[in-house]
Amino acid sequence: MSYQAPPAYTAKQQPPPSGYRIPLEGNSQFPGPQHAGAAPCYDLDRSPVYIGSAILEDSVHPCKIAPHLDPPCRVGYGGQELSHRGRYDLLPYDPATMEWVPASLGRIPDGRRPVEGGYENNGARLYHACAVFQGVRVPGKTGQHLSGANFAFGGEQVIERGYEILCWRH
């Protein structure tokens, strides 16, 4: 699978609400740093962790992508850490166009446009979130219907009330 970089855009031309994604499968080779972007998070062993969205049967959920794990795509879902072996999309983190904004209790910060990460099977929108847990930043998901950020960690789905939500820079 070859990857083509997204088109350049100006301040007047905004990226799509969910950003430009790199489609991957459970057995795909992880793209190089020139395409994957900077890792916004690191695991306990300091291995890089990226953000993405897992395509499930009837929904799409923001997830963590840890290339050092097998499979690399992990989703906090149904109270557990789901090891996802199907299709998922890597969202290259670009600090020039994106920023992490403090949030809590599923609220979207006033005047901000969050990066869309997916949707529940009932259509409720999900956004990329990041929380500090056991001393490391862990990517996950949030939504206005959730009470915090949900993420996969240590075989479980963990919920944190205070977290950051990924938003487009003004």
Report the C-alpha gap between 170 and 163 in whole angstroms: 20
Tell me what the pLDDT averaged over the chain comes to: 90
Angle in degrees, CA 35, 150, 77, rounded to 5: 90
What's the confidence (pLDDT) of residue 13?
60
12 has pLDDT over 70 = no
For 60-79, what is each residue's pLDDT tens digit?
A: 999 999 999 999 999 999 99
Angle in degrees, CA 143, 149, 152, rounded to 5: 120
What's the confidence (pLDDT) of residue 3?
43
Angle in degrees, CA 93, 25, 118, rounded to 5: 55
Report the C-alpha gap between 84 and 53 in whole angstroms: 10
Give the pTM.
0.89
Tell the burial category of 109 from Cβ atoms under 10 Å away from its Cβ (0-12, 13-18, 19+). Answer: middle
For 25-36, what is each residue's pLDDT tens digit?
A: 987 899 988 899
Beta carbons within 8 Å of 134's beta carbon, 6+ residues apart: 44, 153
118 has pLDDT over 70 = yes
2 has pLDDT over 50 = no
Min mean pLDDT across 16-25, 63-72, 97-106 is at 16-25
9 has pLDDT over 60 = no
19 has pLDDT over 80 = yes
What's the confidence (pLDDT) of residue 33?
83
